[in-house]
Every structure is written in structure tokens, then in C-alpha cells.
Amino acid sequence: MRVAKVRRERMAARLLQSVMECYAGHIQSGPPTVEEVIAHADVSRATFYKYFNSVDEAIEKRASELVDEMIDSLKGLVDPQMKPVLLFTVSVHLFLLRSVLDPIWAAFVARSDLLKADGVLFEGLVLHLSKSLADRDVAFSDSEAARTLAIGAMREAIRSIAQTTEPRREFVEEVTTMILIGLEVAREDARLLVTEATIFIRGAAPDRLTWWRDPWSAGAKP
């Protein structure tokens, strides 16, 4: 029974990975078909339907896993005692760095509903943003507009990274900086926050995130 369970788990993971990779290849179109997924996974249609009723169900399942994984990553990485504006900066920057490290992840989340502004994935980020406003480290008069600015810029940056063969460090850092500037942080202060966030992530992530690799080192991408 234990062996059978392991086999089922491996097959489910194989199918979900195939769904994710096929979906990632549809940057300009809709989700993949069952035929594409089973061809990529090299399994029969019957095998697919043993695990999922549809591609949409498999996409929802994989998306849910990615949400849980990224929330766990953020919780495991950040120090709750950090200033909220730095927590916000670290969160934004980590999403972009994850996209650089894993283009398939970036393409999938950019195409799926994971990046909805009101989604559970961004609850912590929005909380950090609200606390930063209370601390007067950022300024805005409408919280929905601020959330839309931050998450919308992240979404477009992730899409851009997913379609770029060689993502640039300067692009990632400037996007994060410009989000802060859009929240009325002075440019120099924004640059300092991004530098501090970068130093923190690259210092703490190797011990706290299983998926982490230095994004700018040779062979960083999978």
C-alpha cells in the first residue's frame, strides 16, 4: 500500500508539472489541452482522468500548491521585527527573484490567477503596505489604488521576465525601486531599501528557502 501511494503521488506530481510547463508555453493564449498535457507527460488520457477531471482542475490544484509554497517561503524568510516598509520591499523583490530563478514558475503564475490583486497570496504584502502607511514611510490616499499599483507592476514584471532569456539584475531592482517611488518614497530612499532587501535575501535565503539559488551566478536557472 505504501508503494502504491508513493507511485500515485509521483504520477500526480508528474501530471501537475506537465500542466504547469504546458501552461507556461501558452504565454499568448489560453490553457493547454488534455492532449498537450498527456503528450508532454507521456501518459494515456485514461491516466490523466484517474487524477483530474479536467485541465482546469489540475491548474487550480497546482496554483493552490504554489500559493501555499510562496506564502511559506515568505513566512520562513522574513523577520517579523523588520520595519514594515522593508518587509514590503523584501516581499516584492522575492517574487521577482523567484521569477528569474524559475522561468516556468514565472510564466505559469503570470498566466494563471495567482497574481490577482485581491488574492490570498498578497495578503501579507498588503498588510505590510498598510503598516508602512501608518509609519509614514509611504504615502497614498487610496489603499486599492496603492495595491493595484504594486501588484500590477509586479505582474507585468513577472510576465516580462518569463519571456526574457536573460533577465537583468538592473531591471529587477529598478522595478522594485519604481514601485516604492510610486508610493511616494524618495528615489534615494527607495534605492537604499532595495539594496537592503537584496542583501537580506541573499544572506538569509540560502538557509531558509529550499528553492533558492543566487540568480546572477552561472547555472542559477534550472
| Structure confidence at residue 220 as a pLDDT band (50, 70, 90) | low
Q: Which residues contact 107 (CB under 8 A, 6 or more apart)?
A: 23, 24, 25, 27, 162, 163
Name which residue leads in pLDDT, 171 or 72: 171
Q: Are 182 and 153 in contact, with CB atoms under 8 Å apart?
A: yes
pLDDT value at residue 35:
93
How far is the C-alpha of 70 from the C-alpha of 84, rounded, in Å?
19
Cα dist from 57 to 14, 27, 61, whole Å = 15, 19, 6
- Where are the extended beta strands (E) located within the chain? none
Contact status, residue 187 vs residue 181, Cβ threshold 8 Å: yes
Q: What is residue 218's predicted lDDT score, i.e. its pLDDT?
A: 59
Confidence category of residue 119, pLDDT binned at 50, 70, 90? low
CA-nearest of 91, 93, 121, 108 to 162 is: 108
Per-residue pLDDT of 29-62, as tens digits, reads: 667 899 999 999 999 999 999 999 998 888 888 8
Position 116 scores a pLDDT of 63
- The pLDDT confidence band at residue 118, using thresholds 50, 70 and 90, is low
All 3 cell numbers of residue 70?
510562496
Q: pLDDT-based confidence at 117, cuts 50/70/90?
A: low
| pLDDT tens-digit map of 83-93 | 999 999 999 99
pLDDT tens digits for 165-204? 888 999 999 999 999 999 999 999 999 999 999 999 999 9
129: pLDDT strictly greater than 70: yes
Domains of the chain by residue range: 63-208
100 and 172 in contact (C-beta within 8 Å)?
yes
Q: Nearest-CA neighbor of 97 among 179, 215, 221? A: 215
Model pLDDT, residue 100: 92
